[in-house]
């Protein structure tokens, strides 16, 4: 089964910046073994499926039968090199995880609750009825309550399916990209090209750089195009980023979308460059050049997103 066709914007925050209860759960998760970033989507799907297939069914992952949150180890990503230890590899000693260790809790339960609220607000009554085991108003009320539990905090991950929200590329520079191509897992030697096994495309940038780029681009786009659309997305993104410690890392990860791109296409992908060129052109007052860069970027991702309709 392929990994979910989702991409991710993540924040890796210093362990010392996490509130006490979450920090304890994250430490327990690190002791158990960090989730490799290449397996994060599969892990979340499995956790959600187990909640739905259990007896009795639970509305959200990571909760007890009565709907309260479990207190077990957190699923967490570790910002070390290209990835955390793969399954079967030795996990780092828990004693070496200090306050500056950068971690990204997956926050699956509140993210699933937010997704459920969105689903109930946008999908047709027939689909809502088919998907829910609980009465709709009760499910919405429980999901909204879980989202409200976040209070003034925020989840460390936001995601999108089938395509990358184009404003996200503003946060990174082309030179920041890390690209892992081909099949490097002997156990999957027969996997087809494009299967996504251990292949990865991602950027990591310091929080200060991501925020500066988001703020600058939002101001530019608001001046050139108005306050809606991309400028609004960037302002919302900057507000989200400001929930986290200044020493955090921001990661844009294609995630399961690498399954839609073969190695040659991934290597030739110029999405970050196209966004940079479009912004530079707007600063120079060259609207025609900016539009050409935008169209190139839009067409590239539209040709991937259209597969959702054929799936």
Ramachandran angles phi, psi of 273, nearest 5°: -65, -40
- Residues 163, 301: contact at Cβ < 8 Å? yes
pLDDT for 125 equals 87
Dihedral angle at the C-alpha atoms of 164, 168, 169, 171, nearest 10 degrees? Answer: -160
pLDDT for 130 equals 86
pLDDT for 190 equals 40
pLDDT class of 81 with cuts at 50, 70, 90: low
| CB burial readout 255-293, b (16+ within 10 A) else e | bbbbbbbebeebeebebbbbbbbbbebbeeeeeeebeeb
User: 288 CB contacts (<8 Å, ≥6 apart)?
Assistant: none
Per-residue pLDDT tens over the stretch 205-251:
999 999 999 999 999 999 988 888 899 999 999 999 999 999 999 99
The alpha-helical segments, DSSP class H, found in 164-245 are 207-225, 230-241
Work out the average pLDDT over 282-309: 90
Work out the average pLDDT over 76-92: 60
Q: How would you classify the pairing of strands 177-180 and 102-105?
A: unpaired
Q: From CA 207, how far away is CA 119, in angstroms rounded?
A: 31
Per-residue pLDDT tens over the stretch 160-212:
999 999 999 999 999 999 999 986 443 343 444 444 447 999 999 999 999 99
The residues pairing with 63 across neighbouring beta strands, listed in sequence order, are 69
Res 80 pLDDT > 60: yes
Res 311 pLDDT > 70: no
| Helix, strand or coil, per DSSP, at residue 60 | coil
User: What is the pLDDT of the chain when averaged over all its residues?
Assistant: 87
Helix then strand count (H, E) for the chain reads 11, 7
Burial class (CB in 10 A: 0-12, 13-18, 19+), 170: buried
Res 90 pLDDT > 70: no
Q: From CA 182, how far away is CA 199, in angstroms rounded?
A: 6
**Residue the block writes with tokens 């996504």:** 196
Work out the average pLDDT over 58-87: 77
- Residues 94, 46: contact at Cβ < 8 Å? no
* Separation of CA 20 from chain center: 24
The residue among 307 and 36 whose pLDDT is bigger is 36
The residues pairing with 253 across neighbouring beta strands, listed in sequence order, are 8, 202
| Helix, strand or coil, per DSSP, at residue 202 | strand
Range of 66-75, 174-183, 219-228, 264-273 with top mean pLDDT: 264-273
Work out the average pLDDT over 62-77: 87
DSSP 261: S
CA atoms within 13 A on the CB side of 179: 15
110: nearest Cα among 161, 157, 72: 157
pLDDT for 1 equals 80
Angle of helix 230-241 versus helix 207-225 axis, rounded to 10: 150
Range of 51-55, 105-109, 184-188 with top mean pLDDT: 105-109
pLDDT for 79 equals 92
């Amino acid at each position: 089964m392929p990994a979910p066709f989702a991409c991710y914007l993540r924040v890796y925050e210093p362990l010392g910046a996490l509130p006490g209860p979450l920090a304890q759960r994250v430490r327990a998760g690190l002791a158990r073994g960090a989730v490799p970033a290449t397996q994060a989507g599969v892990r979340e799907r499995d956790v959600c499926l187990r909640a739905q297939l259990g007896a009795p069914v639970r509305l959200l992952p990571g909760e007890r039968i009565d709907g309260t949150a479990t207190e077990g180890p957190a699923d967490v990503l570790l910002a070390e090199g290209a990835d955390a230890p793969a399954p079967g590899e030795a996990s780092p000693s828990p004693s070496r995880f200090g306050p500056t260790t950068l971690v990204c809790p997956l926050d699956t339960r509140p993210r699933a609750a937010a997704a459920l609220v969105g689903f109930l607000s946008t999908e047709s009554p027939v689909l809502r009825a088919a998907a829910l085991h609980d009465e709709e108003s009760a499910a919405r009320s429980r999901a909204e309550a879980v989202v409200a539990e976040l209070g003034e905090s925020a989840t460390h991950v936001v995601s999108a399916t089938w395509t990358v929200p184009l404003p996200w590329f503003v946060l990174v520079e082309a030179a920041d990209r890390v690209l892992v191509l081909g099949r490097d897992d002997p156990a999957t030697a027969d996997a087809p090209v494009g299967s996504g096994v251990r292949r990865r495309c991602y950027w990591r940038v310091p929080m200060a750089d991501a925020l500066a780029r988001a703020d600058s681009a939002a101001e530019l786009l608001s001046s050139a195009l108005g306050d809606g659309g991309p400028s609004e997305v960037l302002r919302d993104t900057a507000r989200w980023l400001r929930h986290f410690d200044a020493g955090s890392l921001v990661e844009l990860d294609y995630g399961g979308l690498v399954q839609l791109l073969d190695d040659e296409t991934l290597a030739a992908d110029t999405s970050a460059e196209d966004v940079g060129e479009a912004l530079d052109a707007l600063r120079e007052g060259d609207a025609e050049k900016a539009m050409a860069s935008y169209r190139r970027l839009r067409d590239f991702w539209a040709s991937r997103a259209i597969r959702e309709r054929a799936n």
